[in-house]
C-alpha cells in the first residue's frame, strides 16, 4: 500500500482545477473550458487508476489515510474507499466530465460556472471517501453551496424560488443529521463511521446510548429511533424519498439542463450512499423496526413519481420525477435488505443480489440520467428554449442521429435488457421478491408506468408528424457525436457485461450483508 | 501659658512672611515706579516679581525650613503642612501666570498683591490647629477672594458674583463662628487637641451636635458643597479668570484640609459612622449627606449647563462630594487620599481655567463657542483634553489615581463595606460627569469651527505653563507613587 | 517582546500625528507598518509559545508600591490568541480605511491608540493595569465614531462610550472590593486567582464584575449601544468594535469575573423566577441575546444594522459558552471570540467599505435593485464566504466554535442548547435575506443604467483575503488555536474555577 495520499489528492484535484479555471478564465472562455476539461479528465483518469489498483477481494477499506485533527474530540481526518465508494467516485467523475462537455459550446456558462462545477466535484469526492463524520459533513455541506449558486445564477425564470427551496430542504435535512450525530458522539465519543458500525454490530452503541443519553427517562430504543429519524431525514431529503421530494421538481426544471446533469447524475447519489454507508451499518436495528413504514415510503417513491411524471408536460420535470422513481428502487432494495431477518443462505443471496442491484442501479441511473439531460440541453439550444412534451413531434425525421441516440438512452432508462439499466433493476427485483414480495409487486407498477411515460416521450417527441418549425433543426454535429459516443457506448458495454462493475463490488456487498445480520 | 519667642514665630512663618512681603513689594512697585508704564508691562513686572517671591518661598519650604508647634496649636508646622503650602504656592504661581493676559483692570498691583495675600492666608490656614486662628485666616482668605471676584469693575456679572459671594460668605462665617463658640463652651478651649479630649468625655451632647452642624454649614460654604453651593456658579462665571482659578483651586485645597483637621483632630470621638445598615449618630453621617447631595446636585445640574465655567462650577460641587467621602472615612489613609485628590483636582482645574484665560480675548464662554477649537488651537485643545479627562477620572491621568485612592481608602476600613454605597454612588456620578466633560470635548474636536473663526494665538509663557501643568497631570497619573508616598509619609509624621 | 505590540502602537500614533498633513499616504503607510509589526510580533510569539499552559511573564515591575499595584504584563494561551486577533483586525481595518480622506492623520492616530490600549488589556496581568488600558480605549472610540461615523454618529458615540464607562465603573467597584477583601496589597491575577474570597462576597462581587464586562460584550439587555454604535461607526471602527472590543468584555468576563470569583456561580440554594444561580441567570440572558439579536436582525431594513444585531447574537454564543462551565463550552467560547472577531470584521468590511462607499445606501430594498453581484463580483464572493462563515458552515471557524459551545451547553443545560440551535437557524435566515437583497437581487431594468462602480481596490482585496484566510484556516485546522486554549484552561490560574464550579 503506497503512502501517497491518493484519496486526498483526488479530492483536492477538482478544487485546484476550479481555482485554476477562475484564474485562467480571465484569458477568455476557451481557456477556462479547456482548463476545466483537463482537470475533469485528470480526475477521471485518477479515479480509473485507483480502480485498477483496487483489490476487490480484500475486505474493509483500502487506500486509507489518517491524520489527527482534534484528538480531544475524537476528530480525525480519516478517508478510505471500498467498492461502493470507488463506484461513486467513478460515477461522479464521469458525470461531471459529461456536464462540462455539455457546457462546452454554451457561451453563458463561463469560468464561474465551470469552477463551481469543479468545486461541486470536490464536494462529491469528499463525501464519498470521508470516514469521519465531521469532515464528511463538511463535504456534504460544501456540495450544497455550488449547487445552490449553479441553480440560482444560471437557471431559468423561476430559479430564485427553486434555489431557495433546494437550499431550505437540504439545510433542514442536514441539521437533523448533524444533531443526530452530535448525540451519537456524546454517547459514544466517536465520529468515525467504521468505529460506529462496529459498535453498533456488537451492541455497544446501544449500551452507550443507554448509559450516556438521559432524556426524560426515555428508553434507549426510543432515543435511538429518534436519532435514526434525524439521520434518515437528512438522506431522505437528498435522495429524495417521497414525501421529502418537494424541492426536486422545480430545482431540476429551473436549473439549466447541463446543471441538472450533475444534480441528478451525481448529487442524488449522495443520498443513497448515505443510506448504505451510514444508516445501514449504524442503525440496522432501527431500520428493521421501521421496516414497514420505510417499505411503504420506498414503494411510494417508486410508484407516485412515475404517475406524476406521466402527467407532466415539461420534459425536464418528467425526467426529474423519473429520477425519483429510479432511485426509489435503490431505497426499496436497501430497506428490504434491512427489514428482513434470517441468516440462511437463500436470504443471504437475495440480500447480496439486492445490494449489488442497488449499486449497479446507482451507476446506471447516473450515466443514463446525465445523458438524458444532456440530450435535453442539446434540444433546448436548438429549439430556442422550448422543452415541452407537446412542443415537438417527428424529430426522428429532422434529427435522426439525435433521435437514435436519445432513444437508446430512453430505453436504457426503461431497463431494456442489453442496456445499462437492466442489470441493476433485475437484480433489485430478484433480491427484493424473496425479502418482501408485496413491495416488489407494487414496485412493478412503477416499472410499468415508467415504461408508459418513456414510450410516450418517444412517441410524442420523435414520432408523429414533423412540425414546420422543426424541419430545419440541425442534427448532432461531429463534435457532439464524439462527446456523446462514449456515454452511449458505456450503456451498451455495461448492459452486456455488467461484471465489469459488479466484479469490484462483491467485497463491499458481502460486507454490507454481514453488517445487517444482527 | 509659656511664651514663645517671636523669633520662633518668625522662623516658623518664614514662607508666609516672604509671600506677604512680596505682596507689599508688588503693591509698592506698582504704585510708585510703574505708574506711567503700559498696562502690559505693569502686569508682566508685577507677575514676575510675585512669582519670584513665591518661588523663593517654595525654596525655603523645600529646604526643610523649621518645624515646630506653638502652644494651643496656634501654629503647627510639620512636613504635611509644608507639603500643602508648597502646592498652594505652585498653584498661586500658575494663577499669576494666567493673570498675565488680563486687561480688565488698571489696578495691577492691587490685584497681584491680593492674590499673594490670599495665598498667605491659605498657607496660614493649613498650618494651624486653633479655632480662632482658623476663623481669622478663613476670613482673611474670604475677604481677599471677595475683592478678587469683584475686581472687574466693568462687568455687572463680576459685581453680582462678588456681592453674592460676600453675602453668603458673611452669613456662613457668622454661623461658623457661632459653632466655634459653642465648641469653646463645651470644651473650654480653642485648641483642637483639647477639644478632642472634652468631646471624648461627652460625645452625645446635643450642644455638640448643634456645634457640628454649624461648623459643617460654615465649612460647607467654603468648599462649595451642596446645599451651600449657591455662590459657586456665579463666582466661577462672573469673576475674572485668574480669580476664579484661585477660588477653584487653592482655596479648595486649603479649606478641605482645614475641614478635615477640625473634624479629625477635634471631633473624632463624636464621629459616628455612615456605614450602610450600621450607621450611628455623629458627624460622619452628616457629612455623608452633604457628600450625597453634592455629588447628585453637582453632576446632574452640570448636564444642563451651556456655559463652560458653570459646568466647571457644578463639577466642582460634584468633586467636593467625592472629596467628602474621604472625610466620611476619617482615617489617615483617607487623609492621604484626600490630599492627593485635592492636589490633582486643583491642578486640573487651574489648568482648565488657564485654557479659558488663554481664550479670554475670544470671549469664549458658552460650550458652543468651543466649536472647532481642535483646529483653531490644537495645543490648547489637547491640554484641555488632558485636564477635563483628569477631572472625569480617566486613567492614566492624575484624577483617576486620586479617585481610586479615595475609594480604596473608603473601603479599606475594618468594617469593609459599610461605605460601599457611597463609593457606588460616586462611580455612578462619575459616569454622569463623563458625559458633560465629553460634551465640551466633542465641541472642541468633533464640531466644525464657526465660519470666519481664525486660528488662536497663545502667548509663549501661557503655553509653556499649560503644557507643564498637563505634563504634570499625566505624570502624576502614570506614576502616582512619587507624590503619594511623600504625602503618606507626611501624614504619618503628622499624626503619630 | 509582546509588550512592544502596545508600545509600538502608541509610538505609531505619535509618529502619525507628526507626519505632514499634505501627504496622507505617509500617515496611512506608517499606520499600516505599525499594525503589521504588531501582527508580526503576535505571530512570532504564538509560534514560540509552548503549549503547556504556562503563563509567560513579559514585564513585571512595581508601579504604585503604596497600593501594591504592579505593571505586570503576561500572556497565557488565551491572551495570545486574542492578541493575534487584534493584530489581524488592526491590519485589516487599516487596509479597509485606505480611502478615508477627512482628517487622515487624526483617524489613524486614534485608531492606533485604540489598538495599543486593546493589546494592553489582553496582556495585562494586574487588574488595575487592565482597568487602566480598558479606560484608555474609551476615548479613541468616542472620537472615531463621532467624527468619521455616519448615521446619528454623535448620539451613537456618546451612548457607546457612556455604556462602556458605566460598565467599567462596576468593574472598578468590584476591583476595589476585591483588593480590600483580599488584603494582600496586590491586584495581580496570580495572587487574586488563588485567594479564597469568602463565598458570600463572591456571590455579589461576581455578578457586579460580570455585568460590568458583559455590558461591553453586548449581553442582553445592556446591548442597545452595540447596533447603534456599530452602524454609526466608520468601517474600520466597526470592524474593531464588533471584532475586538466586544471581545474585551468577554475576555474580562472570563479572566476577571470567572477566574477570580468562581464561587459566585454556585447555586444559591433558593430559586428566584426559576433561576437558582448566577450561572443560570447569565446563561438565560445570553440565550435571549442569541435569539433576540437574530430575530431583530431578520427584520432590519438597514444592512449595517443587520450585521450589528448579528454581532449581538454571536456574542450571545460566547457568553453562553462561558456559562456552561465545562471545558468544551469554555474552549468553544474562546474560539468563538476569535472566530467572530474575524467574521464580524469581514461582514462590516463588505457592508461598509465595499458596498456603502460605492452605493451610498444601506437600505436593503434599494440595494436589491442594484445588480451588485455583477458590478463588484469580488465583494459578492467575499460576502458569500463571510455569510457561510457567519452561519457556522463547516469548513469555517464559526462551525468549530459554535459546535463546541453547543456540545458544552448540551451538557449543562440541554434545553438551552436546543433553543440556541434555533438561534442558529434564525441566523441562517437573516444572513440569507441580507445576501439575497444585496447581491442576488434582480436588477431594476426600468431604472437608469448603472454607472460603473469603482472597482475593488488592492487594499480591500488584501484585507478581505487576510480575513478569509484566517477564518478558513482555523475552520480546517482548529488545532492551531485549541492547542493554546485547552492548556490554558487547564492551567493553575483557572484552578479555582475548575474545583469550584466545573460541571
Domain boundaries of chain B, sorted by first residue: 275-496
Q: How far apart are CA C267 and CA C271, in angstroms?
A: 9
Q: How far is A333 from chain C (nearest CA, A)?
A: 32
Using CA atoms, how far apart are residues C454 and C450, in angstroms rounded to an integer? 12
Owning domain of residue A456: 291-518
Name the least confident of A215-219, A500-504, B90-94, B196-200.
A215-219
Q: Are C16 and C454 in contact (CB under 8 A)?
A: no
Q: Do A69 and C394 touch (CB under 8 A)?
A: no
CA dihedral A235, A239, A241, A245 (to 10 degrees): 110
Partner residue opposite A145 with nearest CB, options C388, C406, C432: C388
DSSP helix/strand/coil, A474: coil
Instruction: Report yes or no: C425 at the A interface, CB cutoff 8 Å.
Output: yes
Task: Tell me, yes or no, if B430 comes closer than 8 A to chain C by beta carbon.
Answer: yes
Residue C478 touches chain A, beta carbons under 8 Å: yes
Residue B339 C-alpha cell reads as 490630599
Inter-residue contact B136 to B180 (CB < 8 Å): no
Mean of pLDDT over chain A = 86
Q: What is the pLDDT of residues C17-47, one digit of tens each?
A: 888 878 888 889 999 999 999 999 999 988 8
Verify whether the Cβ–Cβ distance B431 to C169 is below 8 Å: yes
By CB atoms closer than 10 A (0-12, 13-18, 19+), residue A451 is middle
Query: Closest Cα of chain C to B200: distance in Å?
Result: 30
- Best residue in B322, B412, B479 to probe C by mutation, most C CBs within 10 Å? B412
CB contact under 8 A, C180 and B431: no
Asked if C395 has any chain A CB less than 8 Å from its own CB, the reply is yes
Q: Look at residue B1 in the predicted model and tell me its pLDDT.
A: 45
Q: C407 — contact with chain B (CB < 8 Å)?
A: no
- Is the Cβ pair C154, B446 closer than 8 Å? yes
Distance, CA of B29 to CA of B305 (rounded, Å): 42
How far is Cα C485 from Cα C479, in angstroms, rounded to an integer? Answer: 9
Confirm or reject contact between B40 and chain C (CB < 8 A). Answer: no
| Chains B and C touch each other (3 or more Cβ pairs < 8 A) | yes
Query: Residue B3's pLDDT is what?
Result: 58
Work out the average pLDDT over C272-280.
83
B400 touches chain C (CB under 8 A): yes
Instruction: Check A160 against C406: CB less than 8 A apart.
Output: no
Is pLDDT at A284 greater than 80 in this prediction? yes
| Partners of residue B434 in chain C, C-beta under 8 Å | 161-162, 165
CA angle, A275 as apex, A274 and A281 as ends, to 5°? 100
Q: Is B445 on the interface with C (CB under 8 A)?
A: yes
Mean pLDDT of all residues in C170-189: 85
Q: Quote the percentage of chain A above a pLDDT of 70.
A: 96
pLDDT of residue C444 exceeding 60, the answer is no
Q: Is B465 in contact with B55 (CB distance < 8 Å)?
A: no
Q: Which helix (H) or strand (E) holds C269?
A: strand C267-272
To the nearest whole Å, the CA of A143 is away from the closest chain C CA by: 11
CB contact under 8 A, A182 and C440: no
pLDDT at C353 over 90: no
ipTM over 0.90: no
- From chain C residues 170-229, the ones with a CB under 8 A of any chain B CB are 170, 172-173, 176-177, 179-181
Touch A-B: 3+ C-beta pairs under 8 A: no
pLDDT of residue B19: 92
Which of C384, C407, C486 lies at the smallest CB-CB distance from A186? Answer: C407
- Name which of C135, C154, C179 is nearest B394 (Cβ-Cβ): C135
How many domains in chain A? Answer: 1
Task: For chain C, give the mean pLDDT.
Answer: 87
Model pLDDT, residue C447: 55
Q: Which of A314, A322, A308 has the alpha carbon at shortest distance from A390?
A: A314
C232 near B CB under 8 A: no
Q: Which of B368, B356, B100, B380 is nearest to B241 (CA)?
A: B356
The pLDDT assigned to C443 comes to 59
pTM of the model as a whole: 0.84
Q: Which residues pair with A66 in a beta bridge?
A: A78
C-beta of residue B39 within 8 angstroms of C-beta of residue B19: no
pLDDT at residue C450 in the model:
59
Contact B431 C165 (CB under 8 A): yes
Taking 80 as the threshold, does the pLDDT of residue A119 lie above it? Answer: yes
The verdict on a CB contact (< 8 Å) between C414 and A215 is yes
Determine whether the interchain pair B481/C63 forms a contact, defined as Cβ–Cβ distance below 8 Å: yes
Three-state secondary-structure class, residue C75: strand
User: CB–CB of A179 and C421 under 8 A?
Assistant: yes
Interface with chain C: mutation pick from B333, B337, B438, highest number of C CBs within 10 Å: B438
Across the interface, whether the CB atoms of C478 and A69 are under 8 A apart is answered yes
Task: Looking at the complex, report in whole angstroms how far the Cα of residue A236 sits from the nearest Cα belonging to chain C.
Answer: 20
The three-state (H, E, C) secondary structure of C332-353, written as one string: HHHHHHHHHHHHHHHHHHHHHH
Q: Do C394 and A142 touch (CB under 8 A)?
A: yes
Q: Which of C406, C407, C478 sits opposite A70 (nearest CB)?
A: C478
Taking one residue from B and the other from C, the number of pairs with CB-CB distance under 8 angstroms is 80
Neighboring chain B residues of C66 at a CB cutoff of 8 Å: 481, 484-485, 488
**pLDDT(C179) > 50:** yes
Closest CA in chain B for residue C65: B481
Rounded-to-integer distance, Cα C340 and Cα C346, Å: 9
Would an 8 Å CB–CB cutoff place B485 in contact with chain C? yes
pLDDT(A518) > 50: no
Decide: A142 and A119 in contact? Cβ < 8 Å: yes
Q: Residue A184 corresponds to which cell in the numbers above?
A: 451519537
Nearest to C394 among A138, A179, A186 (CB): A138
* Cα A302 to Cα A297: distance, rounded to the nearest angstrom: 9
**Count of Cβ atoms closer than 10 Å to residue B232 Cβ:** 29
How far apart CA A478 and CA A380 sit, in angstroms, is 18
Nearest CA in chain A to C411: A186
pLDDT digits (tens, 9 = 90+) for C205-226: 899 999 999 999 989 899 989 9
Contact C482 A145 (CB under 8 A): no
Cβ B324 vs Cβ B280: under 8 Å: no
Which of B29-38, C234-243, C486-495 ranks highest by mean pLDDT?
C234-243
User: How do residues C284-323 score in pLDDT, each as one tens digit?
Assistant: 999 999 999 999 999 988 888 999 999 999 999 999 999 9
What DSSP state is assigned to residue C111? H
In this predicted structure, the answer to whether residue C153 has a pLDDT above a threshold of 80 is yes
- Chain C residues near residue A167 by CB distance under 8 angstroms: 432
pLDDT at C108: 92
**Residue B387 exposed, middle or buried by CB count within 10 Å (0-12, 13-18, 19+):** buried
**pLDDT at residue A1 in the model:** 43
* Distance (Å) from the alpha carbon of C428 to chain A's nearest alpha carbon: 10
Q: How far apart are CA B191 and CA C494, in angstroms?
A: 57
Averaged pLDDT, groups of 10, chain B, 496 residues long: 70 88 90 80 87 90 77 83 92 89 81 93 91 93 93 88 93 93 87 84 80 91 89 91 91 91 84 74 86 94 91 93 90 90 94 88 77 83 92 90 90 77 90 91 84 77 89 90 88 81
Q: Considering only the beta carbons, identify the residue of A69, A134, A171 that sits closest to C479.
A: A69
Q: Which residues of A touch C395 (CB under 8 A)?
A: 138, 141-142
Residues of A in contact with C477 (CB under 8 A): 69
Amino acid at each position: 500500500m503506497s503512502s501517497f495520499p491518493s484519496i486526498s489528492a483526488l479530492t483536492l484535484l477538482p478544487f485546484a482545477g476550479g481555482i485554476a479555471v477562475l484564474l485562467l478564465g480571465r484569458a477568455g472562455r476557451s481557456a477556462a473550458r479547456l482548463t476545466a476539461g483537463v482537470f475533469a479528465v485528470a480526475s477521471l483518469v485518477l479515479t480509473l487508476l485507483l480502480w485498477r489498483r483496487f483489490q476487490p477481494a480484500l475486505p474493509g477499506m483500502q487506500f486509507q489515510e489518517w491524520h489527527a485533527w482534534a484528538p480531544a474530540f475524537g476528530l480525525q481526518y480519516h478517508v478510505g474507499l471500498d467498492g461502493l465508494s470507488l463506484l461513486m467516485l467513478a460515477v461522479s467523475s464521469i458525470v461531471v466530465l459529461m456536464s462540462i462537455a455539455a457546457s462546452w459550446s454554451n457561451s453563458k456558462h463561463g469560468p464561474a460556472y465551470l469552477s463551481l462545477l469543479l468545486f461541486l466535484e470536490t464536494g462529491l469526492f469528499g463525501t464519498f471517501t470521508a470516514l469521519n463524520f465531521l469532515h464528511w459533513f463538511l463535504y456534504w455541506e460544501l456540495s450544497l453551496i455550488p449547487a445552490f449558486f449553479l441553480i440560482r445564477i444560471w437557471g431559468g425564470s423561476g430559479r430564485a424560488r427553486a434555489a431557495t427551496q433546494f437550499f431550505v430542504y437540504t439545510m433542514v435535512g442536514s441539521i437533523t443529521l448533524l444533531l443526530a450525530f452530535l448525540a451519537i458522539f456524546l454517547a459514544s465519543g466517536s465520529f468515525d463511521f467504521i468505529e460506529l458500525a462496529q459498535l453498533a454490530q456488537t451492541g455497544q452503541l446501544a449500551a452507550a446510548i443507554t448509559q450516556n443519553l438521559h432524556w426524560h427517562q426515555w428508553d434507549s430504543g426510543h432515543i435511538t429511533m429518534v436519532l435514526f429519524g434525524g439521520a434518515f431525514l437528512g438522506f431522505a431529503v437528498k435522495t429524495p424519498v417521497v414525501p421529502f421530494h418537494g424541492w426536486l421538481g422545480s430545482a431540476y426544471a429551473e436549473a439549466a439542463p447541463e446543471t441538472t446533469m450533475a444534480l441528478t447524475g451525481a448529487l442524488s447519489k449522495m443520498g443513497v450512499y448515505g443510506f448504505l454507508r451510514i444508516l445501514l451499518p449504524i442503525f440496522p436495528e432501527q431500520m428493521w423496526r421501521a421496516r414497514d413504514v420505510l417499505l411503504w415510503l420506498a414503494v411510494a417513491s417508486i410508484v407516485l413519481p412515475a404517475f406524476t411524471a406521466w402527467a407532466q408536460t415539461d420534459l425536464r420535470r418528467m425526467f426529474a420525477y423519473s429520477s425519483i422513481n429510479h432511485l426509489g428502487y435503490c431505497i426499496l432494495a436497501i430497506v428490504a435488505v434491512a427489514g428482513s431477518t434470517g441468516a440462511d443462505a437463500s436470504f443471504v443471496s437475495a440480500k447480496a443480489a439486492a445490494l449489488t442491484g442497488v449499486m449497479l442501479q446507482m451507476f446506471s441511473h447516473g450515466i443514463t440520467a446525465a445523458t438524458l439531460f444532456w440530450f435535453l440541453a442539446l434540444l433546448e439550444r436548438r429549439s430556442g428554449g422550448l422543452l415541452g412534451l407537446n412542443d415537438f413531434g417527428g424529430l426522428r425525421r429532422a434529427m435522426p442521429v439525435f433521435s437514435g441516440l436519445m432513444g437508446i438512452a430512453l430505453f436504457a432508462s426503461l431497463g431494456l435488457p442489453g442496456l445499462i439499466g437492466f442489470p441493476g433493476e433485475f437484480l433489485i427485483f430478484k433480491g427484493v421478491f424473496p425479502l418482501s414480495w408485496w413491495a416488489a409487486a407494487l414496485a412493478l407498477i412503477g416499472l410499468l408506468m415508467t415504461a408508459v411515460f418513456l414510450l410516450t416521450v418517444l412517441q410524442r417527441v420523435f414520432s408523429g408528424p414533423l412540425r414546420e418549425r422543426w424541419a430545419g433543426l440541425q442534427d448532432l454535429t461531429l463534435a457532439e457525436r464524439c462527446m456523446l459516443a462514449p456515454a452511449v457506448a458505456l450503456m451498451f458495454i455495461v448492459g452486456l457485461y455488467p461484471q465489469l462493475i459488479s466484479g469490484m463490488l462483491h467485497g463491499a456487498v458481502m460486507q454490507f450483508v454481514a453488517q445487517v445480520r444482527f | 501659658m509659656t511664651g514663645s519667642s517671636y523669633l520662633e514665630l518668625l522662623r516658623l512663618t518664614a514662607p508666609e512672611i516672604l509671600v506677604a512681603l512680596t505682596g507689599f513689594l508688588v503693591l509698592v512697585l506698582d504704585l510708585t515706579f510703574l505708574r506711567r508704564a503700559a498696562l502690559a508691562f505693569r502686569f508682566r513686572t508685577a507677575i514676575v516679581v510675585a512669582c519670584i517671591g513665591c518661588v523663593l518661598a517654595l525654596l525655603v519650604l523645600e529646604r526643610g525650613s523649621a518645624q515646630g508647634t506653638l502652644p494651643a496649636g496656634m501654629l503647627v508646622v510639620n512636613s504635611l503642612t509644608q507639603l500643602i503650602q508648597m502646592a498652594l504656592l505652585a498653584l498661586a504661581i500658575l494663577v499669576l501666570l494666567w493673570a498675565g493676559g488680563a486687561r480688565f483692570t488698571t489696578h495691577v498691583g492691587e490685584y497681584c498683591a491680593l492674590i499673594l495675600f490670599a495665598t498667605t492666608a491659605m498657607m496660614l490656614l493649613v498650618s494651624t490647629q486653633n479655632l480662632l486662628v482658623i476663623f481669622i485666616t478663613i476670613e482673611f482668605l474670604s475677604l481677599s477672594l471677595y475683592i478678587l471676584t469683584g475686581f472687574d469693575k466693568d462687568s455687572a456679572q463680576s459685581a453680582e458674583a462678588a456681592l453674592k459671594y460676600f453675602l453668603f460668605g458673611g452669613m456662613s462665617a457668622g454661623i461658623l463662628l457661632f459653632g466655634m463658640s459653642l465648641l469653646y463652651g463645651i470644651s473650654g478651649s480653642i485648641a483642637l487637641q483639647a477639644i478632642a479630649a472634652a468631646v471624648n468625655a461627652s460625645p452625645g451632647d446635643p450642644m455638640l451636635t448643634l456645634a457640628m452642624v454649624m461648623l459643617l454649614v460654615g465649612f460647607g460654604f467654603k468648599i462649595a458643597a451642596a446645599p451651600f453651593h449657591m455662590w459657586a456658579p456665579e463666582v466661577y462665571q462672573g469673576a475674572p479668570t485668574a480669580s476664579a482659578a484661585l477660588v477653584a483651586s487653592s482655596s479648595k485645597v486649603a479649606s478641605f484640609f482645614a475641614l478635615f483637621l477640625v473634624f479629625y483632630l477635634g471631633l473624632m470621638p463624636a464621629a459616628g459612622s455612615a456605614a450602610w445598615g450600621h450607621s450611628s449618630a455623629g458627624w460622619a453621617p452628616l457629612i455623608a449627606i452633604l457628600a450625597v447631595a453634592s455629588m447628585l446636585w453637582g453632576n446632574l445640574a452640570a448636564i444642563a449647563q451651556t456655559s463652560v465655567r458653570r459646568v466647571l462650577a457644578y463639577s466642582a460641587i460634584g468633586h467636593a462630594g467625592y472629596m467628602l467621602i474621604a472625610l466620611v472615612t476619617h482615617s489617615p489613609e483617607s487623609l492621604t487620599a484626600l490630599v492627593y485628590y485635592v492636589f490633582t483636582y486643583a491642578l486640573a482645574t487651574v489648568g482648565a481655567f488657564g485654557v479659558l484665560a488663554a481664550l479670554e480675548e475670544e470671549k469664549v464662554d458658552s460650550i458652543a463657542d468651543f466649536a472647532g477649537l481642535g483646529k483653531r488651537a490644537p495645543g490648547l485643545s489637547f491640554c484641555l483634553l488632558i485636564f477635563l479627562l483628569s477631572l472625569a477620572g480617566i486613567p492614566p491621568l492624575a484624577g483617576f489615581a486620586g479617585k481610586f485612592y479615595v475609594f480604596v481608602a473608603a473601603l479599606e476600613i475594618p468594617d469593609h463595606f459599610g461605605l460601599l454605597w457611597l463609593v457606588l454612588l460616586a462611580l455612578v456620578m462619575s459616569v454622569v460627569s463623563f458625559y458633560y466633560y465629553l460634551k465640551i470635548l466633542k465641541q472642541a474636536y468633533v464640531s466644525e469651527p464657526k465660519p470666519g473663526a481664525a486660528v488662536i494665538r497663545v502667548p509663549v509663557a501661557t503655553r509653556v505653563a499649560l503644557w507643564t501643568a498637563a505634563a504634570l497631570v499625566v505624570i502624576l497619573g502614570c506614576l502616582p507613587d512619587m507624590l503619594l508616598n511623600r504625602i503618606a509619609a507626611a501624614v504619618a509624621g503628622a499624626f503619630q | 517582546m509582546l509588550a512592544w505590540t502596545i508600545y509600538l502602537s502608541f509610538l505609531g500614533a505619535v509618529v502619525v500625528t507628526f507626519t505632514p498633513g499634505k501627504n496622507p499616504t505617509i500617515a496611512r503607510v506608517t499606520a499600516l507598518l505599525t499594525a503589521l509589526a504588531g501582527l508580526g510580533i503576535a505571530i512570532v510569539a504564538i509560534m514560540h509559545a509552548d503549549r503547556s499552559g504556562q503563563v509567560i511573564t513579559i514585564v513585571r515591575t512595581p508601579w504604585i508600591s503604596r497600593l501594591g499595584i504592579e505593571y505586570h504584563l503576561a500572556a497565557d494561551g488565551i491572551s495570545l490568541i486574542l492578541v493575534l486577533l487584534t493584530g489581524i483586525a488592526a491590519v485589516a481595518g487599516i487596509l479597509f480605511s485606505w480611502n478615508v480622506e477627512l482628517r487622515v492623520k487624526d483617524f489613524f492616530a486614534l485608531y492606533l491608540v485604540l489598538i495599543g490600549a486593546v493589546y494592553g488589556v489582553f496582556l495585562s496581568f494586574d487588574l488595575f493595569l487592565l482597568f487602566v488600558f480598558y479606560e484608555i480605549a474609551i476615548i479613541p472610540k468616542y472620537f472615531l465614531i463621532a467624527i468619521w461615523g455616519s448615521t446619528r454618529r454623535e448620539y451613537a458615540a456618546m451612548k457607546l462610550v457612556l455604556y462602556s464607562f458605566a460598565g467599567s465603573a462596576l468593574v472598578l467597584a468590584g476591583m476595589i472590593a476585591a483588593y480590600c477583601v483580599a488584603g494582600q496589597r496586590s491586584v495581580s491575577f496570580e495572587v487574586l486567582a488563588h485567594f479564597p474570597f469568602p463565598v458570600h462576597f463572591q456571590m455579589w462581587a461576581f455578578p457586579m464584575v460580570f455585568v460590568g464586562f458583559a455590558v461591553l460584550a453586548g449581553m442582553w439587555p445592556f446591548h442597545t449601544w452595540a447596533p447603534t454604535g456599530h452602524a454609526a461607526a466608520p468601517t474600520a471602527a466597526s470592524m474593531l468594535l464588533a471584532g475586538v472590543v466586544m471581545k474585551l468584555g468577554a475576555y474580562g468576563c472570563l479572566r476577571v469575573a470567572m477566574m477570580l470569583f468562581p464561587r459566585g456561580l454556585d447555586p444559591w440554594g433558593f430559586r428566584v423566577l426559576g433561576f437558582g444561580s448566577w450561572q443560570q441567570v447569565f446563561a438565560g440572558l445570553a440565550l435571549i441575546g442569541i435569539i433576540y439579536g437574530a430575530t431583530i436582525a431578520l427584520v432590519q431594513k438597514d444592512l449595517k444594522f443587520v450585521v450589528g444585531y448579528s454581532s449581538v447574537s454571536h456574542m450571545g454564543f460566547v457568553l453562553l459558552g462561558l456559562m456552561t462551565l465545562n471545558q468544551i463550552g469554555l474552549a468553544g467560547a474562546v474560539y468563538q471570540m476569535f472566530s467572530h472577531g474575524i467574521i464580524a470584521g469581514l461582514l462590516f468590511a463588505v457592508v461598509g467599505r465595499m458596498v456603502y462607499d460605492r452605493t451610498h445606501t444601506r437600505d436593503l430594498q434599494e440595494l436589491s435593485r442594484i445588480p451588485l453581484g455583477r458590478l463588484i463580483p469580488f465583494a459578492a464572493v467575499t460576502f458569500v464566504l463571510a455569510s457561510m462563515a457567519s452561519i457556522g458552515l463547516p469548513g469555517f471557524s464559526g462551525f468549530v466554535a459554535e459546535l463546541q459551545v453547543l456540545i458544552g451547553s448540551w451538557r449543562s443545560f440541554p434545553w438551552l442548547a436546543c433553543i440556541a440551535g434555533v438561534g442558529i437557524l434564525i441566523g441562517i435566515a437573516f444572513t440569507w435575506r441580507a445576501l439575497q437583497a444585496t447581491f442576488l437581487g434582480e436588477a431594476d431594468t426600468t431604472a437608469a443604467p448603472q454607472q460603473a462602480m469603482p472597482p475593488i481596490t488592492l487594499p480591500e482585496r488584501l484585507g478581505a483575503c487576510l480575513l478569509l484566510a484566517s477564518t478558513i484556516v482555523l475552520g480546517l485546522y482548529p488545532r492551531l488555536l485549541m492547542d493554546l486554549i485547552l492548556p490554558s484552561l487547564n492551567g493553575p490560574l483557572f484552578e479555582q474555577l475548575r474545583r469550584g464550579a466545573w460541571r
